[in-house]
Structure 1
Amino acid sequence: MPNTDSTNGNTLVWFRHDLRIDDNQSLVAACQYAAEHQGVVRAIFFVTPKQWALHDAASIQLDFIERQVNQLAIDLAELGIPLDICHSDDFEAMPALLSQYINYWQIAKVFATSEPECNEQRRDHAVIEAGVDLELSQQHCFLPPLSVLNLSGEMYKVFTPFAKKWREIAKQAPIQTLARPEPIATPLPMPNYVEFDCEKSSSRRWPVGELAAHAKLRQFAKDKVADYQASRDFPAIDGTSQLSAYLAVGIISPRQCLQVLLSHYPDALVHDESPGRCWLNELIWREFYRHLLVAFPKLSKSANFNALADQIKWRNNPREFQAWCEGRTGYPLVDAAMRQLNQTGWMHNRLRMVTASFLTKHLLVDWRWGERYFRQKLIDGDLAANNGGWQWSAGTGCDAQPYFRVFNPISQCEKFDPTGAFIRTYLPELEQVDLKLIHKLKIPTQAQLFVETDYASPIVEHKFARMRAIDVLSAMKKGSANALQVRAQQVRQVGSDSSVDLDKEIFG
């Protein structure tokens, strides 16, 4: 147990996925406490290579986090706050390491931001059980999880009524963000750059720092939000915010996003017709999935939200899964999207739905395989959004598309990349191919397309795949009450064993 003098005012800010100074409740609270009790403020960030590997963190995201942590150290030094970057192989080692740190620096109180994932919540519980005075702030969402409930006091399971209630509450909530604290001591010398001991890949095309993130946010609100609804589904158009990477690691906060949006479109919370409403709904979708993760911890354990989906007999063909991963399915939009992911660490949101639908419905590969692959590749990897999006596409999730809705990758290609500009960017072998061949993929033209280029033949015929998917996935419709009982027992068994790594249960 930490041995601290309760009369001192020394505080510690434990940074996690809130890597910013502006609008950081934990940082502000730590500075206020220290000022009131004549103490000093320190900050800490834990490098956890084993835990990151267990959670399939993308190498590009880890590089992005490393760069931002080092920028954060510079920003904190200007406030007179040192940031210690400490190594802790995994969460299990943290209570002891944190206690040692607290004893050494005589810390009276630790401030941190809560996180919605199951393992992270167990980590914080273990730290508190070890005697650490840990004060958690709820700032990873604008409205805290479990604060948007239906009339029965339960979490909504459908997005539309959740969004309506969310907007009603948000209208009454303070939108003003917290300013960065004033310097509490003499500025510190420039800190040395610290490199994480883990596998990384370059994230240089994504600038780090709060100034860069806010510039991107302001430009998007000023120049693109008005056209967002019309342009957001076209991957060849730069019409999305591309702020997800900054939100995922906390370089900007949801409150900051909402404040900037409402400064341009103050009616977005109250009028459906507001040009700002469409992007506001995207922010609410993010909150919806995070609230679900807290309300239903099984989602952190790779469980189907709809227990009837446990009856699905996935094909899980490794060869076909690998073809999907590498962008060799023979469907241009799917393949271009997967190559965008592999080459850049990011994928356009419309294409995330298209590729996820193709994997789960055309190939009948378990959505958890695709979710894990995305986590290993995405710079904006986020369990709540990733899980929610994949289960939505597979038809197994909360407020998901029905199992019998199967995206047609050919018509999606024709509708959302009508000029073929996006496809040709990532499929150079099709650069000189007639657009009609790319869009139609009819049997008479396939032979010509695949003989004249190095492009792969279609891995499966669409109509056949659609009928097969509807038949196999109808297990959710045919599921029995007994299936629900069996799944409940499985969840109870896994949940009672604290030694099980819940995020790896499916793939370990």
Structure 2
Amino acid sequence: MNAICWFRTDLRVHDNPALAEAMAYGPTLAVFVISPVQWQAHREAPVKVDFWLRNLAALQQALDALNVPLKIIHSDDWQDVPEKLAALCKAHAVTAVHANAEWGINERRRDIATVERLDDEGVSWTVHHGSSLLIPGSVVTGKGEAYKVFTPYARACRERLQSAPPRTVPLPHKQAKAPTSSDAIPKSVPGYHAPDRALHSMWPAGEDAALARVEAFANDAIAHYKTERDVPAVDGTSRISPYLAAGVISPGQCLRTALAANHGELDSGKQGITTWITELLWREFYQHLMAANPSLSMHAPMKPATGGIPWRDDPDAFDAWTAGRTGFPIIDAGMRQLMEMGWMHNRLRMLVAMLLSKNLLIDWRKGEAWFMANLIDGDLASNNGGWQWSASTGADAVPYFRIFNPETQSRNIDPQGRYIRKWVPELADLNDRDIHAPSAQQRRDAGYPEAIVDLKATRKRALEVFKALG
């Protein structure tokens, strides 16, 4: 073998520059590293690890069709990865390693250590960019700095994408049969319990499933995306985020599918499509921010002054929030959806995050960690960016004085209470008005708790805390 393609969060053979370049270099071996202790340190969710393993099995089948063996490196954490990868290179006479970039601080440190160890063996290292539309660091302000506000960033991205859209990376040609065989893919790893198998049908594995999902969305629901994306009772979003997070589909594939449905128009044409493209750019924005600000990987606030917020220590309130027992029906519906599906509607992510960080005044990092530990689409950059937006600590964050009222929001986005009835069934018999804020008697009758905080008083408290920061 001449080359290794090291798969990480890019579990696909199509539109994968690292794989294409490795196979162009010479006979290629694929590698994936299973690191359960490292994953636990990163709070990777059991449902997400299960999704990785299922997609790894699908990837192995796709690689088999290309005669590319898939080897598994077992390393509890990433300390041993450089040595184990170097040993694999030596055992198979590999002279080049190709991989797609990752931007978390631990991932970057792992890669730096790997490059140094491979250099000792005379093995070259090439990094590619298969997880973003534009290379982080390539979209900067007139001062050469990373954008900290989304709107001008998105404008700059659109200008770049209009003139130089991401090219399609062709599927490599099948190589000659390799002298080595693939390793077995484990169905589970130590420290991670298997999630409910119902999630397998909810989130099927493989590139074909991912492409079918985004194409079905582009052919139907995307037309109404602008008006229906904030309505949680409607299946109005793509639900492609787990596949993007694991790299089963690339952002380039998503963009090209959207453009094909919009006659090639990037920022005009059908509003649903242009709105969805904007959401792809939000994902890019958070990736670019993390690449430019390594401290975000260590959960530091983008706005240094907000590091002085006197967050409250309230374990009972936090437990009620995680259990979906806050007494705010729309909030509890979102948290229960998360626990059952490993996924939550994006509008609800904003609402539950704002209740925790503003009304409860509990450190947003506790919520960020809880999400990562339970989300099938947990992505460090997007999760951090979303939480900092809601907590008013991040780049382009919502102004601190904007605090969503969950009862008002509930009436706006779920007027008939359909979403609440599904996820908080004890309230299903209430009428469309009362279901958003049940009376004390209705709560007692349903066995549903009183609200854990007074919205007006806690809003006032949050405003005072943020105002005091200056």
TM-score, structure 1 as length reference:
0.88
Match of 2:90 in 1: 103
Secondary structure in structure 2 of the residue aligned to 1:435: coil
Q: Would the aligned equivalents of 1:77 and 1:189 in 2 still touch at CA under 8 Å?
A: no
The Cα shift of 1:321 comes to: 0.3
Counting aligned pairs with the same residue, the percent is 43
Secondary structure in structure 1 of the residue aligned to 2:31: strand
Q: Would the aligned equivalents of 1:265 and 1:275 in 2 still touch at CA under 8 Å?
A: no
Taking a change above 3 Å as real, the CA distance of residues 152 and 190 of structure 1, as seen in their structure-2 partners, is closer
Match of 1:460 in 2: 453
The Cα shift of 1:226 comes to: 1.4
The Cα shift of 1:435 comes to: 2.5
Question: Given residue 136 of structure 1, which amino acid in structure 2 is its aligned partner?
Answer: V
Which of 117, 126, 130 is equivalent to 1:135? 126
Distance in 2 of aligned mates of 1:190 and 1:157: 44
Match of 1:17 in 2: 9
Distance in 2 of aligned mates of 1:272 and 1:217: 19
Distance in 2 of aligned mates of 1:299 and 1:190: 37
Q: Would the aligned equivalents of 1:262 and 1:268 in 2 still touch at CA under 8 Å?
A: yes
Match of 1:165 in 2: 156
The Cα shift of 1:142 comes to: 0.6
Match of 1:181 in 2: 172
The Cα shift of 1:44 comes to: 0.6
Secondary structure in structure 1 of the residue aligned to 2:398: coil
Match of 2:137 in 1: 146
Q: Would the aligned equivalents of 1:21 and 1:27 in 2 still touch at CA under 8 Å?
A: yes
**In the alignment, structure 1 residue 384 sits paired with structure 2 residue 377:** no
**In the alignment, structure 1 residue 121 sits paired with structure 2 residue 146:** no
Match of 1:259 in 2: 256
Which of 459, 463, 466 is equivalent to 1:470? 463
Match of 1:326 in 2: 323
Q: Would the aligned equivalents of 2:46 and 2:373 in 1 still touch at CA under 8 Å?
A: yes
Question: Given residue 415 of structure 1, which amino acid in structure 2 is its aligned partner?
Answer: N
Secondary structure in structure 1 of the residue aligned to 2:433: helix
Distance in 1 of aligned mates of 2:147 and 2:440: 50
Distance in 2 of aligned mates of 1:218 and 1:395: 35
Within 5 Å, give how 1:464-503 maps onto structure 2.
Answer: 464-476=457-469, 478=470
Match of 1:489 in 2: none
Q: Would the aligned equivalents of 2:73 and 2:84 in 1 still touch at CA under 8 Å?
A: no
Q: Would the aligned equivalents of 1:116 and 1:294 in 2 still touch at CA under 8 Å?
A: yes
Q: Would the aligned equivalents of 2:262 and 2:269 in 1 still touch at CA under 8 Å?
A: no
> Could you list the runs of 5+ residues in structure 2 that have no partner in the other structure?
none
The Cα shift of 1:307 comes to: 0.3
The Cα shift of 1:453 comes to: 1.1
Distance in 1 of aligned mates of 2:366 and 2:458: 19
The Cα shift of 1:448 comes to: 1.6
Question: Given residue 67 of structure 1, which amino acid in structure 2 is its aligned partner?
Answer: R
Q: Would the aligned equivalents of 1:308 and 1:475 in 2 still touch at CA under 8 Å?
A: no
How many correspondences in the alignment?
A: 460
Q: Would the aligned equivalents of 2:70 and 2:182 in 1 still touch at CA under 8 Å?
A: no
The Cα shift of 1:191 comes to: 6.7
Q: Would the aligned equivalents of 1:176 and 1:259 in 2 still touch at CA under 8 Å?
A: no
Match of 1:448 in 2: 441
The Cα shift of 1:300 comes to: 0.5
Match of 1:221 in 2: 218
Q: Would the aligned equivalents of 2:353 and 2:387 in 1 still touch at CA under 8 Å?
A: yes
TM-score, structure 2 as length reference:
0.95
**In the alignment, structure 1 residue 90 sits paired with structure 2 residue 77:** yes
Taking a change above 3 Å as real, the CA distance of residues 267 and 195 of structure 1, as seen in their structure-2 partners, is closer
> Could you list the runs of 5+ residues in structure 1 that have no partner in the other structure?
1-8, 35-39, 479-508
Q: Deviations over 1:80-125 (max 9, x none)?
A: 1100112011111111111111111110100101101111011100
Distance in 1 of aligned mates of 2:460 and 2:185: 56
Runs of 4+ in structure 1 over 3 Å off: 186-193, 272-275
The Cα shift of 1:192 comes to: 4.3
Which of 422, 432, 437 is equivalent to 1:435? 432
The Cα shift of 1:268 comes to: 3.8
Q: Decide which moves more: 418-427 or 367-376.
A: 418-427
**In the alignment, structure 1 residue 31 sits paired with structure 2 residue 23:** yes
Distance in 2 of aligned mates of 1:452 and 1:327: 18
Q: Deviations over 1:479-508 (max 9, x none)?
A: xxxxxxxxxxxxxxxxxxxxxxxxxxxxxx
Q: Deviations over 1:213-249 (max 9, x none)?
A: 0010111111111110000000100000000000000
The Cα shift of 1:343 comes to: 1.1
The Cα shift of 1:193 comes to: 4.3
Q: Deviations over 1:35-78 (max 9, x none)?
A: xxxxx211110000110000000000000000011111111011
Which of 420, 424, 430 is equivalent to 2:421? 424
Taking a change above 3 Å as real, the CA distance of residues 140 and 318 of structure 1, as seen in their structure-2 partners, is same
